[in-house]
Amino acid sequence: MEITSFVLGMLTIVAVLILVAIVVGLVKINQLTRKTESLTQSCTEIESDLRQEIENANREIWKQFENCSRDVTMVEKTIINQIESIDREHHKHEEDLHREIDETKRYIDSRIDKVVSSGVLKEPKRQING
Residue pair 98/89 in contact (Cβ under 8 Å)? The answer is no
Domain total of the chain: 1
Residue 69 lies in a domain: yes
Residue 89 lies in a domain: no
Residue 107 lies in a domain: no
Give the helix/strand (H/E) hosting 80. Answer: helix 2-118
Residue pair 125/113 in contact (Cβ under 8 Å)? The answer is yes
Residue 72 lies in a domain: yes
Q: What pTM was estimated for this model as a whole? A: 0.49
Domain extent, residue 61, equals 17-76
Residue 93 lies in a domain: no
Residue 122 lies in a domain: no
| Digit-coded pLDDT (tens) for 67-102 | 999 999 999 999 999 999 999 999 999 999 999 999
Confidence of residue 14 (pLDDT cuts 50, 70, 90): very high
